[in-house]
Chain A
Amino acid sequence: MQRLFRAVKIMNPGSEWHGQTVDIRVTDGILAEIGSGLSLDGAEEIHLPKASVSTGWIDLEATGGDPGFEHREDIASLTKAAAAGGFTKVGLRPETQPVIHDKSGVSYLLQQSRFAPVDLLPIGAVSKNLAGAEITEMLDMRAAGAVAFSDGSHSIQHAGLLLRALLYAKTFDGLIMNQPQEATIAGKGQLHEGIVSTMLGMRGIPSLAEELMIERDLRLLEYTDSRLHLSHVSTANGVEKIREAKAQGLRVTASVAALNLLLTVKDVESFDSHCKVLPPLREESDRQALLEGLKDGTIDCISSNHTPLELETKHLEFAYADFGAATISTAFATARKGVGDFLTEEELIAKFTSGPRDIFQLESSSIAVGEYAQLTFYQYDKNWSVALQDIHSRSKNSPLIGTELSGCPLGILNGDQFVTSK
């Protein structure tokens, strides 16, 4: 199988072709030839107007539904939605039923997805059944293919558990991930605590709930000298704590959810339950701090935080609706719109490529002859309005329907599989 991609601009700082608009020939899943005016030689010719190409994007954390919640998302629908979003690899959170907390769960995901156009990277649970009490068989899961360990949206409340997990993971230089939210401070909060929650008469989730847990986690990290990823940081003070910890030399990384780069708590004012997400949408000042954190490297990557939910759990009074939004197909465009020109194209693409790759310690890849072809094609400046059919997930719980975004994935190539986004 031969494909010839015509006139694509290469966005890959490690490549000798970086910044150049060239043709790329892919033969049997390998980058066979790169250059200008390549001859067709029987290849399938593909024209993607105004396209840039980078190494394949990696979504650090998304939630699926298989097993247990297939009505929300199964592996086929998730990988299709991820491909439409430009991702060639997706870190998959363990929040399924049963929970992915042993090697059979990890093996199941890898086996079920082996022919999919997108590689799944299973993230095993830190605690059995996400109950926050006992650590899981991480060594087994690691051997079966788990890339990291997290309790997903269930923040790890038990400091002793996190301490033991951080220590245990040192056996294999493993990565523990935690989405910081202190439960007794967050209480039954429904949205970010501030003037909007006060006006709406709803209990808020104080920024303090995140800040306190970040401080605790960093102390535990310092004590254990292990490796920790803080998922979906949303507060200005949280970013600052991580900045200081990195300066101090701790092995901490951080990510931000794409939605938190675009929307703020102001978007919740109309009681739109689609804007009910975790971490909550916060103030404009927090959003600005997140952008600064991306710019200076405090925040290593942008993740979709994809959380598919069926209509019945969202089309409700705000207080009764579940937390989460289906975001995997729109994550890049959301981030691109939120970031504007504050980051360069090269910087933003790095948050979807080298950023997550380094967090998961995946093999380095570049756009060079002889490399395995794992590429994402996109238009960086295209403005477009989100329609329902652009949410490729089985669940359509997106707060962005009708919103104008910019930047648009055009398709992915994963070895021999080429999938266009529309």
Chain B
Amino acid sequence: MKFYVCIKQVPDVDAPIQIKDGNLIQDTDRMILNAYDASAVEEALVLTEEDDDSEVEVVLVGPDKAQETIRKALAMGADKATHIKTNGDENFDSGTYARILAKFFEDKEYDVISCGKQSQDTDAGLTGGMLAQHLDLPYATNAVGLELEDGNLIVKRQGDSGQEVIALPQPCLVTCSNDMNEPRIPSLKGIMQSKRKPMESVELEDLGLDESALQPKTEVTGYMEKPGREPGQKFEGEPDELAEKVAHLLDEEENVV
């Protein structure tokens, strides 16, 4: 069976950030594999573990620098990769990435395409659904568990009030939450093998997309600090007294109990 996992390189949200004149400046260029995609890769590896004929391929749209992220997925155990190359200075939004990926998948054969449920940095959560629509695939988002059952992908997705169990006939698309597993940390052997695994590079121009398809419909115009919360009060001391004090503050000062 053939699994494709769409992976994205994102800035590490744990790294220090700074805003200057409305632009985002990251102290270091710390870029990582989107955590949700790492879960998607992990799950694909687990699901195909038993089956020797199966193949997990990762696809990434991004600049040269993003190859380190592809290597990471290969080091985890993915079999091969396609790198669709961009300059990195385009202002692509989820819609553009979805159209690029759709074009790539147009002539591919696959059983399952999986995506992360959202990008860790933008939390957009749109690409997966868009891609499913372009490819006219049955899909489910926010999966917290996956299982294979002849010809079907059984998705447990976190819905508004409970977990919905959905059977998707293959080929299908799913977006993964990081709540479904703990992605493996590549072993040294994995890291070493990753260098020799096939990685195909495709120039974005060679995909044959119309210029208009590359035009994003949304645009980020600037960044700003969050309005800070007023500094609060921190109490240390006897638990009994603190408990009493804070309970009364909530009642009398804040009126929230």
Q: Do A and B bind each other?
A: no
